[in-house]
Chain A
């Protein structure tokens, strides 16, 4: 506005230094954006092309005759290892594994944060320090010990089934993965919630105590409803991490029916029978990436809104 209001002050040359700066900055930004979007663009256009077009055409060209065939094939027909029923089953495997893992680890993290800030006990800093330390444990170092533990749990599950007729999910690869991700995610979720609740007014908890609310009533009625921003942050973080995890998935559910999406996608791409179907591979990869994108698009909005609300309220 000020530039428009005071044209007389602008240099006689017409284009001021300010404008040049803007052009350079936006130009560079556009260039980097293009650079980052390029692989996604290639994936997207390739997934809508026929094999002929891929083999004869330009990688960057738009599809001449867009077709959903590769997507349908990736979803329902493509071969994952030896079975050729598409990736849809594995997609649901991932959903079944990710949703409980995210919810359980987030809720437990919230509970930990609540206790570590509002119900402090002797040695709470040590406990928090250890939880924090859990964030820095390399994945690889827990692979074998965790495999041993999961093996023991599986054997216990068999014992349980023999005794009661029901294994309570112990030994089920999906349950195993949920367990691993919850344990591994707890450090992060606790850190997030603990730091958020540290700034949460303690007087609200005291007021609720005077009002006669119990430990869990305060958690459910006072803490959780006022935790939307950090809840969304944690869910996005955990969802992305767990959905994209390949190491644990391949180690503990790398074969068989419970295989998650990431492992299945790897198997699709590595299946070496005949021609490599790039379009189907790209479509499968897009499908694998969609849920995390969706979480960002849907929840990211709440995330920003939550941050703004917090900032205004002070």
Chain B
């Protein structure tokens, strides 16, 4: 039995359904990231776990105990808010101790707990300051300290890094990851940033319009997206999703990509998914990540199915660590990821290697993956 179980959770505001039957679970010590565009219901889902929003239907269980109707303070959870929600009228120490004070923990014990958390987060020198005298990163630490001091069963993070500048965000991301590794706590984390989701999670739930689109490990989500939305949302730069048709003959299928003013490219598929034969000579969406589309020298040596085709390079973007080349296939701009020192010029025709073992195919009508 999983540590956190959410079964058939529904949330309605009047006639509007915000959450449409959510099923996710998480093992003890896991890190679940709820990711999706704004308005997908991820924050609402987190709030229902916290008990700050009621649920219409379904069940939430933590460590075998149903917590549906418990008050937030009785759920043995701690939450870090997007704005940190530090009480402006209290010192850092007061903020950290407020929950214990409400539970009637004696002052001496509170002090001990504050000192312990301050040591872990290295905020000992800030304890007597007010939140307004802290920097963004320090506020973030204090907010985490307030959560840590409760030693809860479950940590809830609501977009905790979105108010920080880019560099600090990376630092705090590593810090959260380290915290998770050292304390072994169970965390549910909401973000709209797919990089945060990929780097932090042990499990990701990609959400859209109140539904979980895909639930799995970061690798599963990245390599085997179940539909177009997940494929497009996860990964930066995004996966190339190219309108194509299936050609070839009954035994050896191939992907046919149209090109502007040139004959189409035909890429032979060695081990095409079985479902693909039903799409013979029909339109599909051909998905290939930028790193699976590169110069022939840079292509993965041990990939079993690599096809090379000449492509007209329109734009070259050197990004320092990589060089991105943009070509046009099937009427869409397609990004290829090359080594930083790859010798490639815009306006030339250059062979590009498609790693077809990493390619995925979608049905344009249902937007689902063709397996």
User: A residues touching B (Cβ–Cβ < 8 Å)?
Assistant: 201, 203-204, 206-213, 217, 221-222, 225-226, 313
For B103, the chain A residues whose CB sits under 8 A away are 212
Cβ–Cβ contact B52 & A225, under 8 A:
no
Question: Is B89 interfacial (CB 8 A cutoff)?
Answer: yes
For B83, the chain A residues whose CB sits under 8 A away are 201, 203
Question: Is B88 interfacial (CB 8 A cutoff)?
Answer: yes
* Nearest Cβ on chain B to A2's Cβ, whole angstroms: 34
* 11 additional contacts (CB under 8 A) given A206-B47, A210-B51, A211-B102: A209-B51, A209-B73, A210-B72, A210-B73, A210-B78, A212-B103, A213-B73, A213-B102, A222-B87, A222-B89, A226-B89
Cβ–Cβ contact A212 & B73, under 8 A:
yes
For B85, the chain A residues whose CB sits under 8 A away are 201, 203-204, 206-207
For A206, the chain B residues whose CB sits under 8 A away are 47, 50, 52, 72, 79, 81, 85
Cβ–Cβ contact B82 & A203, under 8 A:
yes
Q: Which of A210, A213, A225, A226 has the most CB of B within 10 A?
A: A210
User: B residues touching A (Cβ–Cβ < 8 Å)?
Assistant: 47, 50-52, 71-73, 77-79, 81-83, 85, 87-89, 98-99, 102-103, 132, 146
Cβ–Cβ contact B77 & A210, under 8 A:
yes
* Nearest Cβ on chain B to A231's Cβ, whole angstroms: 13
* Nearest Cβ on chain A to B353's Cβ, whole angstroms: 50
Between-chain CB contacts (< 8 Å), 9 pairs: A207-B146, A210-B72, A211-B102, A211-B146, A212-B73, A212-B102, A213-B73, A213-B98, A226-B88
Cβ–Cβ contact B98 & A225, under 8 A:
no
The 4 closest A-B pairs by CB, nearest first: A212-B73, A211-B99, A225-B89, A203-B85
Cβ–Cβ contact A208 & B52, under 8 A:
no
Cβ–Cβ contact A203 & B81, under 8 A:
yes
For A313, the chain B residues whose CB sits under 8 A away are 88, 132
Question: CA of A68 to CA of B102 in the docked complex: distance in angstroms?
Answer: 56
For A225, the chain B residues whose CB sits under 8 A away are 89
Cβ–Cβ contact A210 & B52, under 8 A:
yes
Please name the residue on chain A nearest to B53 by beta carbon: A206
Cβ–Cβ contact A207 & B89, under 8 A:
no
For A210, the chain B residues whose CB sits under 8 A away are 50-52, 72-73, 77-79, 99
